[in-house]
Every structure is written in structure tokens, then in C-alpha cells.
Amino acid sequence: MNISQFTTAASDYAVKVDRLFYLESVIAGLVVLLVTGLIVVFFALYYRGSSTPRGEVPERKSREIEIGWTVATLFSFLFLFWWAASDQLTALAPPKDALEIHVIAKQWMWRFQHPSGAREIDELHIPAHTNIRLAMTSQDVIHDLYLPALRLKQDILPDRYTYEWFNATKTGTFHFTCAEFCGTDHSVMAGSLVIMKPEDYARWISAQPQADDLAHQGEALFRSFGCSGCHTPGSTVHAPDLHGIYGHAVQLADGRTVTADEAYLRDCIFLPDKNRVAGFPPLMPNFSGSISEGQANALIAYVKSLTTNRAARTPNASPGQRGGSPP
């Protein structure tokens, strides 16, 4: 293993983080030099028994000094905060068009699912110069996907999605690892991040064992778990139609309005009573235990693929009252 697998700054963001780090290192170095320098000078001048003249420091002067360095410190810290915060804020919003890869962490391994349906374990291939968004969840305890070369780290929680996004600029093989203590084999829960040229990635992904893409897998599951029995327009059971639901606002029974994102859809599968949609009876069975996180990802991908175009074909579909007629 080579140290550059950790230290290479493989994205523009990583370069910015390094720049901030070096800036603060220089400031810290100067302060340490200042303090040590003063101590050495004072020791030399005012060592006990030395003949340097000493007198009182006037009250007024010492107050001025005191206020002076308080203000100076405050402003330099505010400056650092401003710099750090602007780096943080510009990196905040993930771009809309990002390539989305699902990450499932469990004691003590990593599973990745590409949009094409290709799966990997403890190894992640991604294209460079592409916005990548990792949608991550855990099957057991808290983990943390640490990508040293990208200077990124994000905890991964059970029953919740967290995200990391980046745009890698350097190709090569880098290290990634778990950074939140997760039990016995925490220290070996690691793998390699392979950043490839986009065309190489395209070649690589097409050479993967033929698997249906995630949405198609989801479609099959949608039928085999019996979801389609209720969630089809015209079904006799009164259940919300799912076409075009992703990304749109949903009115809930308790008066709240939420946006149907991955987390919401996931909750609908595992905690159906948590966010009941207004106007529908609580009939949805709880699938926690019978559907795995991986299958849930496929189902969610399928629901995301159901566009409004098809929904438009069904008559009477209006927001808040999606789905067929009452039984």
C-alpha cells in the first residue's frame, strides 16, 4: 500500500480543504513561535537575579494591551470561521444530475449498487469528472464511509439515509474505510475506491455480470411482494398510486406535508404508519424484517422510475388524491 492512496487530493474540494488546512497550520505555527519566543526572551531578560530593571506596568497600558489582543484574536478567528464556512457552504448542495450509487454498510462490509444494477462488495468503481452522490444506509450499527483522498466522511445510520457527494478529478486506486467505531472488525472494514476515466467506467460497467438495472429488479420485487396488488391504478384496494410521487409533496393524515424522497419512501415500506397519506386507511402491512435494505433500494429505484407521464394516462389523478376510485 502506498501513502498516496490516502493523501492525494483527488477532487477540487479536497484541494480546498488542504488549502484551509495549510493556512491554519501557518497561523498556528506563527502563534506557537510567538508564544515560545516571548517566553524565551522573558526568561533571558527577567531570570531571577538578572540585573534587568523592572517596574510596574501602568494600569491603563495593560488594559489597552489586553483589549488589543482580545480584539485581534476575535477578528482572526472570525476570519477563519468565514473561510471555513464558505468552503462548507459551497460544497453543501449536491447537483441534481449526479450519478447515484447506493451504499449499504453492515458489520463489517460495504455493499455498493450502481444505477445499472451492478453490485460490488468492498470495492467501488466510479468515473472521474462526474458528479457522484452516495445514498447510504446501515443494516445494523452506525458506520462511517471515510474517503481520505476526497477528504470526506459521513456517518451512516440505520433506518435513515445520509449522503456524500463529490466530483473526483484524479484517476487511480484509493483507500476507503470505516471511521465510526462499529465493533470487533471495525478496523478491517475497508476497501478500494477505483476512480476511472469516464470511458473506462462505461466499459467496466458494461462488462459487469448481466444484471437487471436497479429499477427493473425493483419492478420484479414490486410484483413478487404483492405491492402491485394494491398500488396499481384501478386496484380494488384503496392505496396511493405511486406514479410521479417521487420528489413531490405529499399531504399526510396528521396534517403535515412532506416531500417524497428516498427516506420517505423507505419509511413507507418499513414504518408504514409513521407517515400515513391523507385520505387512505392504514392498510399497508409493515415490511420490516421481510424486505432487506438492498431490496428496498431496488423498490425505491423502481418507484423513482415511475414517471408522471404514465400517471397522466389514468384519469382523475390529482395531487393529494392519487389512485383509483374508492372501493
Round to whole Å and give the CA distance between 12 and 150: 9
Q: Do 182 and 141 touch, CB atoms closer than 8 A?
A: yes
For the CB of residue 324, give the shortest distance to another protein in the complex, in Å.
25
Binding mask 39-58 for another protein (x = CB under 8 A): x--xx--xxxx----xxxx-
What one-character DSSP code corresponds to residue 254?
T
Considering the rule CB under 8 A, would residue 1 count as an interface residue with another protein? yes
Binding residues among 155-194 for another protein as defined by CB under 8 A: 155, 157-160, 162, 175, 177-188
Binding residues among 55-74 for another protein as defined by CB under 8 A: 55-57, 62, 65-66, 69-70, 73-74
Buried b / exposed e over 209-237, threshold 16 CB at 10 Å, is eeeebbbebbbebbeebebeebbbbeeee
In the complex with another protein, which residue's Cβ is closer, 120 or 155? 155
According to CB under 8 A, which one of 28, 121, 202, 249 is a site residue for another protein? 28
Q: From the CB of residue 31, how many other CB atoms can be counted at a distance below 10 Å?
A: 12
According to CB under 8 A, which one of 12, 15, 26, 31 is a site residue for another protein? 31
Q: Among candidates 216, 272, 215, which has minimal Cα distance to 240?
A: 272
- Could you give the dihedral angle defined by the CA atoms of residues 171, 173, 179 and 184, in that order, rounded to the nearest 10 degrees? 160
3-class SS of residue 237:
coil
In the complex with another protein, which residue's Cβ is closer, 183 or 226? 183
Considering the rule CB under 8 A, would residue 254 count as an interface residue with another protein? yes
Considering the rule CB under 8 A, would residue 219 count as an interface residue with another protein? no
Q: Select from 123-131, 140-148, 196-204, 209-217 the region that touches another protein (CB under 8 A).
A: 140-148
Q: Do 207 and 116 touch, CB atoms closer than 8 A?
A: no
Binding residues among 292-311 for another protein as defined by CB under 8 A: none
According to CB under 8 A, which one of 10, 11, 17, 323 is a site residue for another protein? 17
Q: Select from 84-92, 192-200, 217-225, 318-326 the region that touches another protein (CB under 8 A).
A: 84-92
Q: Do 115 and 101 touch, CB atoms closer than 8 A?
A: yes
The cell for 248 is 413531490
Considering the rule CB under 8 A, would residue 242 count as an interface residue with another protein? no
According to CB under 8 A, which one of 288, 290, 292, 325 is a site residue for another protein? 288
Kindly determine how many residues on this chain lie close enough to bind another protein according to the rule CB under 8 A: 89
According to CB under 8 A, which one of 100, 103, 126, 146 is a site residue for another protein? 146
For the CB of residue 200, give the shortest distance to another protein in the complex, in Å.
25
Give CA separation, 17 vs 7, 128, 151, in Å. 12, 19, 7
Considering the rule CB under 8 A, would residue 91 count as an interface residue with another protein? yes
Round to whole Å and give the CA distance between 104 and 287: 18
In the complex with another protein, which residue's Cβ is closer, 39 or 312? 39
Considering the rule CB under 8 A, would residue 109 count as an interface residue with another protein? no
Maximum separation of any 2 CA atoms in the chain, in Å: 102
Residue 283 burial by Cβ neighbours in a 10 Å radius (0-12, 13-18, 19+): exposed
Q: Among candidates 317, 324, 310, which has minimal Cα distance to 280?
A: 324
